Copies of this chain bind each other. A is one copy, B any other.
Amino acid sequence: MSRVAVIGTGVSKFGERDDVSLRELAAEATEGALKGSGLEVSDLEASVFGVANQYLAQQVQPGAIINSYLGLTGKPSFTTTDACASGSAAIRAGWMSIRSGVHDVVLVVGAEKMNGLKTLQALEAMGRAGDPEWELNPTGITDTGLYAIFANAHMKRFGTTEEQLAKIAVKNYKYGSMNPISHLKKKVEIEDVLNSSVVSAPLKLHDCSLVSDGAASVVLASEEAASKLEDDLVYIDGIGCSTDTAAIFDRESLTELKATRLAAERAYKMAKVEPKDIDIADVHDCFTIAELLAYEDLGFCEKGEGGNFIEERKPYKDGETPINIDGGLKAKGHPLGATGVAMAAEITEQLKGNAGKRQVNGAEIGLTHNVARDGTHAFVHVFRRG
């Protein structure tokens, strides 16, 4: 079966985008992806859209509206939605649509406009990604509360410190300030993080990702179609996905995201690589503790060693495994449906050597890791140059 290549990428400016609607954000990203691929809209055979939250979108069929606005009327399309991992679900579906032989060139777009609702409404809308009947409604718990539970458990079991979590934020702000599309461009020091207001102890303001508007697009193509357009290709050679219980009271462990571990195993196996082969990764840092869990669950270090991993600067640009060199969800931003697609765009451009100041030298194999909510889903994709 055909390998699947990423032949064009585009990411909108992330941030508070009151200047545009959801469909316009999607068009902004898609313009870049088309330009990168050298294709016209008419060359696209089909589309897959990833949008997470119909409450935030204030519409229940955003894919149809975006598809129409992009000029894709008449082409096959469908929409995926799995909370914060909706974009990676769309990439998985688009990849399968090519691998199945149905299509050769498919546009995948992730988009979310999160600033259309007032903050409390937005929080409730996001809270509904959990288990409203068995968790949200009876306990009122939010995403931050869930990850605070994970952080407390990790600190208690492994001695992880608030300073170590803060160092993850410092790293991601640093790289975010080098990324033109970032929502926040500011440098923070460890003290800034530690002294920021507590959201849900031990997580503080600077441990949390952002409420961003944004969109990202990639054009996927079969090896045959891609080879006609470019010589220097990046392929998605491994796609892994797993799920976990919707409510955390059913989980076996509070110090790992099991879905990440299983998704990674599947992706590594399909791509025939091991964690040590990964030259660069974008991981799901919705909170600093989430990035730390990812270090361990993706196999970049042993369980419990995440604190040391950041202490030793291993996820820095010149470290052992550069991670979130685009600023991550923390600084680049986290427009839910866009996030997984933006990760794919970043890793593709890194492997092509197009990442400018953020370029990781000699990167040949990359990885994206995108999580829904508190690990109800995880998608891990392995990218390879050539």
Chain A residues close to B by CB (< 8 Å): 1, 21, 46, 52-55, 58-61, 63-65, 67-69, 72-83, 89, 92-93, 95-97, 99-102, 125-126, 128-133, 239-247, 250, 258-259, 262-263, 266, 372-373, 376-377
Checking B82, B93, B258 against A64 with a beta-carbon cut-off of 8 angstroms, the contacting residue is B82
Q: Which residues of B contact A258 (CB under 8 A)?
A: 74
Q: Which residues of B contact A73 (CB under 8 A)?
A: 243-245, 250
- Cβ-defined contact, B372 with A74, below 8 A: no
- Cβ-defined contact, B60 with A129, below 8 A: yes
A–B complex contacts, Cβ < 8 Å, 29 sampled: A1-B100, A1-B101, A46-B241, A53-B60, A54-B55, A59-B131, A60-B83, A61-B128, A63-B81, A64-B83, A64-B129, A68-B243, A68-B245, A68-B247, A68-B376, A72-B243, A75-B242, A76-B240, A76-B241, A78-B89, A78-B93, A78-B377, A79-B80, A79-B89, A80-B80, A80-B93, A96-B97, A96-B99, A99-B101
Closest-CB distance, A267 to chain B (whole angstroms): 11
- Cβ-defined contact, A246 with B74, below 8 A: no
- Cβ-defined contact, A131 with B77, below 8 A: no
**Docked pose: A46 CA to B47 CA in angstroms:** 23
Q: Taking each of A54, A239, A377, which has the highest tally of chain B beta carbons within 10 Å of its own beta carbon?
A: A54
Q: Which residues of B contact A241 (CB under 8 A)?
A: 46, 76-78
Given A72-B243, A101-B99, A64 and B128 contact (CB-CB distance below 8 Å): no
* Nearest CB in chain B to that of A262: its residue: B74
As for how many copies of this chain the complex holds, the number is: 2
- Cβ-defined contact, A100 with B89, below 8 A: no
- Cβ-defined contact, B372 with A64, below 8 A: yes
Q: Which residues of B contact A81 (CB under 8 A)?
A: 54, 60-61, 63, 79-81
**Docked pose: A92 CA to B126 CA in angstroms:** 28
**Docked pose: A53 CA to B250 CA in angstroms:** 26
Closest-CB distance, A174 to chain B (whole angstroms): 32
Q: Which residues of B contact A128 (CB under 8 A)?
A: 54, 58-61
Given A60-B52, A125-B60, A74 and B242 contact (CB-CB distance below 8 Å): yes
Closest-CB distance, A246 to chain B (whole angstroms): 4
- Cβ-defined contact, B132 with A76, below 8 A: no
Q: Which residues of B contact A130 (CB under 8 A)?
A: 61
Closest-CB distance, A70 to chain B (whole angstroms): 10
Q: Taking each of A76, A126, A245, which has the highest tally of chain B beta carbons within 10 Å of its own beta carbon?
A: A76
